[in-house]
């Protein structure tokens, strides 16, 4: 690896979190010549991929005094993308035939992803930079105009630390703080409620009638997992019933499960245990599982309200990464959801690392603010709610965005975003095979897609492996 030229500054940087985002941020920062300390409150790297059977004391995760469990991974979870397109560009997620303990499948289980992240940390000696079992409890600018940051932390043994850094990169993940569905009458409904964050195995639902709210990846997986043991599973999802084709496709997909039924969203829950859907049907349910997503949360961040979270919009952020007034000292990796995550973490990290070294300049604070203000205004004019600010996707696959005109859709297109960030840091943009593999995986999202022979993408696989050959570590 070539050392950075002398004109480039080396900074002392704190990274919060050693999940997929924090690990690649640490690697790219080191590569650019910065010195890095990673704070990680768990015992090991991997973030949400570190499976635990433990769940929180409050299964809806509302109680502020509950024990916090970081991972939201359930026991049966397998990736929802093929490994080739899911992994980092410069550390391909390939099989490890030399190791019998590894999962060689193209859509591997969660343990394989964790082991891949462990391999990455070992390969680039990131473990050595990590303070494990050390939670960041407060991050604030050192003093007005000092351009330094104070990071306060607390170890699992109760030891407090206070360090000064030139910059802080926030990679704390955003799948730990549940968002719940609002259900009229729920306060007196007598059944059990749980958020998918606290779902691990179907056993507690044996022989029960269960309502699952939501049909994104977790909702689909969890409803089928529960259906293996439950008496009935009723899925409540607006998007499924909006269009007859979606409902038919989902019915077909779930046809292996005669006990899965689909409905409109819940209208109301009643004291007698019944749950009434907007399609007029009603069931007496034992449990409701909220697969309704997560909220951004930065409990340690003290920025005098420069950075806020409002209706799940983290504001104000230039291109989802830099708060203009605090850039480049404070940055966020991995906020956009739905995108090809690891690829995005990698290019965002390259951008942050090279801005911090001075190799790449950010626009002035005013220009960045102008850009963000225009972005928010466009979202508003298109009727896209604030909570979708960090939603990057391929608009053709997202019913809500299908009606946008091409120039409007570019606002939330993950590919446009990837191209823009890649251009900033002068790295190659996303490979066409990766885009195509992602598209195939998303379209195939049916019951058996993970175990299909995937013979329709042989050509793409060849291209992927040609690409990987360039990045042998």
CB atoms within 10 A of CB 157: 7
| DSSP secondary structure letters along 301-340 | B-STTSSEEETTEEES-BTTTB-GGGTTTEEESS--BSS-
- Please tell me whether residue 336 binds ligand FAD under the rule CB under 6 A: no
- Please tell me whether residue 44 binds ligand FAD under the rule CB under 6 A: no
Of 200 and 263, nearer to ligand FAD (C-beta) is 200
**Least CB distance to ligand FAD at residue 348 (A):** 11
Count of residues that bind ligand FAD according to CB under 6 A: 32
Task: Name the one residue in this structure whose structure tokens are 């990455």.
Answer: 120
Site for ligand FAD in 83-112 (CB under 6 A): 86
Task: Return the sign of the alpha-carbon dihedral for residues 118, 119, 123, 124.
Answer: negative
| Nearest CA-CA partner of 131 in 147, 114, 151, 146 | 151
Burial code (b: 16+ CB inside 10 Å, e: under 16) for 178-211 equals bebbebeebeebebbbbbbbbbbebebbeebbbb
- Please tell me whether residue 425 binds ligand FAD under the rule CB under 6 A: no
- Please tell me whether residue 413 binds ligand FAD under the rule CB under 6 A: no
| DSSP secondary structure letters along 347-404 | HHHHHHHHHHHTSSPPPPHHHHHHHHHHHHHHHHHTT--GGGTTB-B-GGG-GGGTTS
Helix (H, G, I), strand (E, B) or coil at 201: coil
Of 91, 199, 300, 322, the one binding ligand FAD by CB under 6 A: 300
Beta pairing, strands 149-155 & 160-165? antiparallel
Q: Which stretch binds ligand FAD (CB under 6 A): 14-22, 201-209, 315-323, 445-453?
A: 14-22
Of 370 and 467, nearer to ligand FAD (C-beta) is 467
Q: Is there a contact between 219 and 291 (Cβ–Cβ < 8 Å)?
A: yes
Of 103, 112, 135, 394, the one binding ligand FAD by CB under 6 A: 135
Of 11, 27, 31, 41, the one binding ligand FAD by CB under 6 A: 41
Of 17, 178, 323, 329, the one binding ligand FAD by CB under 6 A: 17
Q: Which stretch binds ligand FAD (CB under 6 A): 36-44, 304-312, 374-382, 441-449?
A: 36-44
**Least CB distance to ligand FAD at residue 80 (A):** 4
CA–CA distance, 466 with 460 (Å, rounded to integer):
10
Of 37, 61, 72, 349, the one binding ligand FAD by CB under 6 A: 72
Of 61, 198, 215, 218, the one binding ligand FAD by CB under 6 A: 218
Of 31, 70, 195, 263, the one binding ligand FAD by CB under 6 A: 70
**Least CB distance to ligand FAD at residue 71 (A):** 8
| Nearest CA-CA partner of 429 in 419, 420, 438 | 419
Q: Is there a contact between 22 and 47 (Cβ–Cβ < 8 Å)?
A: yes
**Least CB distance to ligand FAD at residue 47 (A):** 2
CA 23 remoteness from chain centre: 14
Footprint on this chain of ligand FAD (rule: CB under 6 A): 16-22, 39-42, 47-49, 70, 72-73, 79-81, 86, 135-136, 171-173, 175, 218, 300, 334, 341-342
């Amino acid at each position: 690896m070539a050392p950075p030229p002398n004109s480039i500054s080396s900074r002392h940087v704190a990274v919060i979190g050693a999940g997929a985002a924090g690990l690649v941020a640490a690697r790219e920062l080191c590569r650019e010549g910065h010195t890095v300390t990673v704070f990680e409150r768990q015992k090991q790297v991997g973030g949400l991929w570190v499976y635990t059977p433990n769940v929180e004391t409050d299964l809806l995760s509302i109680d502020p005094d509950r024990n916090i469990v970081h991972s939201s991974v359930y026991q049966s979870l397998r990736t929802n993308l093929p490994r080739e397109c899911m992994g980092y560009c410069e550390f391909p997620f390939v099989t490890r035939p030399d190791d019998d303990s590894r999962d060689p499948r193209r859509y591997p289980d969660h343990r394989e992803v964790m082991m891949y992240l462990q391999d990455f940390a070992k390969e680039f000696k990131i473990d050595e930079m990590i303070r494990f079992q050390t939670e960041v409890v407060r991050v604030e600018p050192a003093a007005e105009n000092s351009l330094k940051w104070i990071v306060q932390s607390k170890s699992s043994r109760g030891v407090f630390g206070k360090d000064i850094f030139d910059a802080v990169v926030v990679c704390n993940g955003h799948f730990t703080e549940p968002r719940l569905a609002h259900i009229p009458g729920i306060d007196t409904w007598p059944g059990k409620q749980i958020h998918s964050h606290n779902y691990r195995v179907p056993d507690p639902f044996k022989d029960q009638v269960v309502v699952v709210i939501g049909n994104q990846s977790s909702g689909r997986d969890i409803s089928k997992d529960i259906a293996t043991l439950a008496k009935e599973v009723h899925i409540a999802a607006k998007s499924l019933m909006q269009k007859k084709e979606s409902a038919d496709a989902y019915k077909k997909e779930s046809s292996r499960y005669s006990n899965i039924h689909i409905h409109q969203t819940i209208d109301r829950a009643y004291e007698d245990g019944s749950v009434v859907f907007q399609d007029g049907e009603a069931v007496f349910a034992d449990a409701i599982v909220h697969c309704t997503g997560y909220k951004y949360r930065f409990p340690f961040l003290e920025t005098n309200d420069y950075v806020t979270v409002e209706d799940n919009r983290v504001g104000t952020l230039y291109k989802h990464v830099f708060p203009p007034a605090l850039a480049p000292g404070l940055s966020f990796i991995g906020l956009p959801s739905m995108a090809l995550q690891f690829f995005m973490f990698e290019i965002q990290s390259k951008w942050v690392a090279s801005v911090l070294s001075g190799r790449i300049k950010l626009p002035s604070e005013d220009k960045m603010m102008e850009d963000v203000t225009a972005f928010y205004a466009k979202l508003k004019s298109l009727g896209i709610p604030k909570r979708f600010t960090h939603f990057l996707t391929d608009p053709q696959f997202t019913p809500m965005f299908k009606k946008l005109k091409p120039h409007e859709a570019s606002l939330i297109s993950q590919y446009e975003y990837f191209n823009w960030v890649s251009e900033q840091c002068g790295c190659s943009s996303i490979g066409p095979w990766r885009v195509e593999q992602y598209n195939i995986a998303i379209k195939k999202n049916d019951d058996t897609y993970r175990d299909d022979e995937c013979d329709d993408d042989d050509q793409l696989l060849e291209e992927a492996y040609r690409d990987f050959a360039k990045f042998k570590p």
